[in-house]
Structure 1
Amino acid sequence: MLKFLLKRVSHMLGVLFVISLVIFGMVKSMPGDPLNAYVGQGVELTAEKRIQLEERLGLNAPLPIQYGKWIGRVLSGDFGESITYKKPVKDAVRPFIINSFILNIGGFILAFLISIPVGIMSAIKKYSLFDNFWTVFSLLGVCLPSFFLGLLLISVFSIKLGILPINGMITPGKNSVGIDKILDIGKHLVLPLTVVTLSSLASLVRYVRNAMLEVLSQDYIRTARSKGLNARVVIYRHALKNAMIPIITLIGFYIPALFGGATILETIFIWPGIGKELYSGVMSRDYNLVLALNMFFALLTLLGNLLADIGYATVDPRVKIIERS
């Protein structure tokens, strides 16, 4: 397993280097003047002041030198200064990353915990009322855009019923602390977390159901049943482990996709996450902030693939055999 992990990590570092080159080039080719964003629109800069700011922000050197300095700082944990927040990028984005993890990973875990038993039951009771209900639910969930579902929930539970906050993370003007602050955040989290959970749940249920149906039709499952093994043992010990292989593939791509697609949802609920912050950074030409967040998305995608590879090696013995050969 150690050899397997070292090989995957070495590949990941090479891919991450290439991605950093592409992202740096794309961000630097963005239209607009970052100095105007730094000093504010409408502020006139003298030639001397512009030269001083360009030197301070590292914008006066050729692009290869800028990249070399930037990647050197990144390797030491310094992502530069945010021209929007006037402070180091790592300090500016830390709370937004935490907020996005609370929302997206929380929703994905809930969806995963629900989809496994529901998908298994749908496969066992194929074409039953239970299976038909979840089939219709999955189709609606896949077809229904998350922003529309979010607006619908806001209309019902916030505007008409008035039982949940419309948006934000905390109640404005309410300086609560301790357990009161946690409860306040939890109340604001209900609607966006529900949207993330339902959006993920719709497709996950279908994947689990289809994977289980395919495994349950295999010869070794029929053999296990013909030997008189308990149905629970056949399903959870023999079938589920093999059915998890395609699901692990989905999880590897699903986690980074949640963060990448959170921009619209975080904008609707005004949730202070990295999706909304990335959009604001692009609009304000905050190069260092955009670079840091895009590298975060790239690293998250590669880590998702690494987790999928580890999952393969855990549930599929064929991977171990291939690695030894």
Structure 2
Amino acid sequence: MENVKTIQWKDDVLILLDCRKLPEKEEYIICNNYTELGEAIKTLGVRGAPAIGVAAAYGVVLSSIHCIENDLKKEECINYIKSGINYLSSTRPTAINLFWSLNRMNKRLNKIKNLSKEKIKEELLKEANLIFKEDIETNFSIGKYGNDIILDNCNILTHCNAGALATAGYGTALGVVRYAHNSGKNIHVYVDETRPLLQGARLTCWELLKEEIPATLITDNMAGYVMKLKMIDMVIFGADRITANGDVANKIGSYSLAVLAKEHNIPVYVAAPLSTIDLKLKEGKDIPIEERSKEEVRKLFGVKVAPDNIKVFNPAFDVTENNLISGIITEKGIIRPPYKKNIEEMFNKK
């Protein structure tokens, strides 16, 4: 994926690969201010917890540039940047990386708010660039640790997209797949299409073809059958938020996969950076679950597939309880049960 850049900062603007247009077109979104970025996040132009977090950091930098260009007074400038942080915090309620990144940028702002506006922009950009760089390094490390559990000739089932398109450029769940493939292992990936927006079919398949990693697309409701046919050795998916006890919120349908996998004695692994773990939340029932537009279900890319007046329930995520998960692959190693104890120990190593 070296020739495809999910997130770019160039000439004081944020450039995002538009995930809404793939795989048909490789187009980019130009964000000149935090409201344009917020719209890109809300409409899934940029999506995936780590990618949203990285993009939001640059959104804070865009706010500082607005202060300079509009010659705001220092107090007005700080208030404007903080209003941008608050706005971006409201764009996606479930993905914890968004809040982690914005909190980090806010802490940096509080330390440098007495500097000149030009210096504030410079320091915020340094922090955003560091978050970008750390994301790449973190995901590569996740891939390295995850590679230890992938055997040669392994058949892996994944859900949604947790690859380069969902991060700054390497991937979490697909980062594990990518690392294993690049290490010379013969692997095959089965890709859930991931209704209602088909991130698996559109994005994960696109990435795997780019990397020339063997893959097969299946519809979501085929997962149980391919498991029954013994075509799956392992399930790996990403996460948008993980609680202190190891419960995992991920794209809707992940819970179903984990239940099916348990029935067929197939291990389920979650790949995510430690920044995705929310130690403030005790268990999965505490995670706020975003519910998205009913039209995402009633229509498929603008084509009506259901009556206009049919009621729709459209949560973007579900929660997989820790007893269904074999391990959480992080940049510091694989966390295994008992999760509450071992998550605490992992954070104490940081």
- Which TM-score applies when normalising by structure 1? 0.27
Structure with more relative contact order (C-alpha pairs < 8 Å, separation 6 or more) = 1
Per residue, is there more helix in 1 or in 2?
1
The structure having more radius of gyration, on CA atoms, is: 1
| Greater share of strand | 2
